[in-house]
Copies of this chain bind each other. A is one copy, B any other.
Amino acid sequence: MTPQRVTLITLGVADLSRSRAFYETLGWQPSLALEEVVFYQIHGAVLGLFGKSALAKDQGRPGVELGTGAMTLAQNFTTEPEVDTAWAAAVHAGATPLKKPEKAFWGGYSGYYADPDGHVWEVAMNPFWSLAEDGSLTLPEAE
Is there an interface contact between A3 and B55, defined as CB atoms closer than 8 Å? no
What is the CA–CA distance of A58 and B120 in the complex, to the nearest angstrom? 11
- Chain B residues contacting A122 (CB-CB under 8 Å) are 8, 10, 59
Residues of B within 8 A of A71 (CB): 9-12, 66, 68, 71, 119
Within the assembled complex, what's the spacing in Å between the Cα atoms of A7 and B108? 15
A58: B residues at CB distance < 8 A = 110, 112
B4 engages A60 (CB within 8 Å): no
A47, B6: Cβ atoms under 8 Å? Answer: yes
- Top 6 closest pairs, chain A to chain B, by CB: A67-B67, A60-B99, A44-B136, A1-B27, A12-B70, A66-B70
